[in-house]
């Protein structure tokens, strides 16, 4: 087995922590070069906030930490294909690169559904790399939903 | 001239306040029946938050005020066609009805671009009513951008 890149390792640890809180296990990390600027776990129920996906919380925390509303020098690592809300936020934030683990055929908006970054109304297209840590993320999600059935 | 419904009047007032702060003039209101639960103005620059569109702030404030992450008994009034991020948040929040003023051919995601609510990966479709207060909202936006050219 090859080791995962450190940011995806952190994102998967955040996803595991989300599951322990009863939240769908998704984690995200914003990097500025080699530095972690923000780490977040999916938390809509805990926070009473329907927008509190891991990506949104990480982007908001990174922007607050850097004191600006654009993150054009930052990369986002996330354990699941972003939905339309998160893909829109990634474009608004001008994130440079997006790395994600598992595809999400039901709710994803990058390689599924609206394929938002290919839309003419999308004003910033990050470079996208999919599949890094896919098996571990998919296992986490499968186990989470199996326990709740 | 017909008077505007009170929630759209409030949303347009919030949009006017956004312009005064140097933010693109968009305002939003969340209603629970006849009660205003949250009012918000677009504020990404002021808040250093790329996700701080009026709709996002209003939805988050309403969910916090009601102590839950679903707003299935609430309506959203907003002065501009929601973008992909905000349309995604509206679906996640299970908002019942969306009323918006001006269309946004450049960034809108309801009647333009991804037309998110028609996507099979969209898990909740609110009832949508467009054009209420369109002229006033479009005038506000036109004046704002004209002054900055």
Cα torsion at B98, B32, B49, A82 (round to 10°)? Answer: -60
Q: How many structural domains comprise chain A? A: 1
* CA gap B62, B37 in Å, rounded: 5
Q: What is the CATH number of the domain that holds A84?
A: 3.40.140.10
In a domain, B53, yes or no: yes
Catalytic annotation present for B136: no
Query: Which residues, including other chains, have CB under 8 Å from residue A68's CB and lie 6 or more apart?
Result: B48
Q: Count H helices, E strands: chain B? A: 5, 5
Residue from B44, B89, B106 to probe the interface with A (highest A Cβ count within 10 Å) = B89
In a domain, B22, yes or no: yes
Does the pLDDT of residue A43 top 90, yes or no?
yes
Does the pLDDT of residue A2 top 90, yes or no?
no
In a domain, B76, yes or no: yes
Q: Which residues of B touch A93 (CB under 8 A)?
A: 50-51
Instruction: Give A149's DSSP letter.
Output: -
Does the pLDDT of residue A26 top 70, yes or no?
yes
pLDDT band at A27 (very low <50, low <70, confident <90, very high): very high
* CA gap B119, A107 in Å, rounded: 10
In a domain, B98, yes or no: yes
The pLDDT score that the predictor gives to residue B148 is 87
Q: pTM to 2 decimals?
A: 0.97
Q: Which residues of A touch B65 (CB under 8 A)?
A: none
Question: B108 vs A121: CB contact, 8 Å cut-off?
Answer: yes
Q: Per the annotation, does A86 bind a ligand?
A: yes
Taken in order A75, A78, A80, A83, is the CA torsion positive or negative? negative
Return the residue matching tokens 């129920």: A45
In a domain, B81, yes or no: yes
Q: Per the annotation, does A74 bind a ligand?
A: no
The pLDDT score that the predictor gives to residue A52 is 98
* Strands A74-80 and A97-102, sheet pairing: parallel
Q: Which residues of A touch B87 (CB under 8 A)?
A: 84-85, 88
Q: By the CB < 8 Å criterion, does B108 face chain A?
A: yes
Min Cα distance B125 → chain A (Å) is 14
The parent domain of residue B79 ranges over 14-133
Does the pLDDT of residue A45 top 80, yes or no?
yes
pLDDT band at A93 (very low <50, low <70, confident <90, very high): very high
Q: What percentage of chain A carries pLDDT values higher than 90?
A: 97
Q: Where are the beta strands (DSSP E) in A54-142?
A: 74-80, 97-102, 127-130
In a domain, A123, yes or no: yes
* CA gap A33, A16 in Å, rounded: 25
Return the residue matching tokens 């080699």: A34
Rounded average pLDDT per 10-residue block, chain B, 149 residues: 90 97 98 98 98 98 98 98 98 98 98 97 98 97 93
Q: What percentage of chain B carries pLDDT values higher than 70?
A: 99
How distant, in Å, are the alpha carbons of A33, A58, A70, B118 from that of A36? 8, 10, 16, 37
Does the pLDDT of residue A126 top 90, yes or no?
yes
In a domain, A99, yes or no: yes
Average pLDDT, chain A: 97
* CA gap A5, A79 in Å, rounded: 12
Q: By the CB < 8 Å criterion, does A49 face chain B?
A: yes
């Amino acid at each position: 087995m090859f080791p995962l890149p450190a940011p995806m390792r952190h994102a998967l640890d955040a996803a595991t922590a989300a599951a322990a809180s009863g939240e769908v296990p998704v984690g995200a990390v914003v990097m500025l070069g080699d530095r972690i600027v923000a780490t977040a776990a999916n938390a809509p129920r805990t926070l009473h906030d329907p927008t509190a996906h891991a990506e949104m919380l990480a982007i908001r925390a990174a922007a607050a930490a850097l004191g600006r509303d654009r993150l054009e020098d930052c990369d986002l690592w996330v354990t699941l294909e972003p939905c339309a809300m998160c893909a829109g936020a990634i474009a608004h934030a001008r994130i440079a690169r997006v790395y994600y683990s598992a595809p999400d055929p039901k709710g994803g908006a990058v390689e599924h559904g609206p394929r938002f970054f290919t839309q003419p109304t999308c004003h910033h297209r990050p470079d996208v790399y999919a599949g890094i840590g896919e098996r571990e993320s998919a296992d986490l999600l499968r186990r989470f939903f199996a326990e709740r059935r």
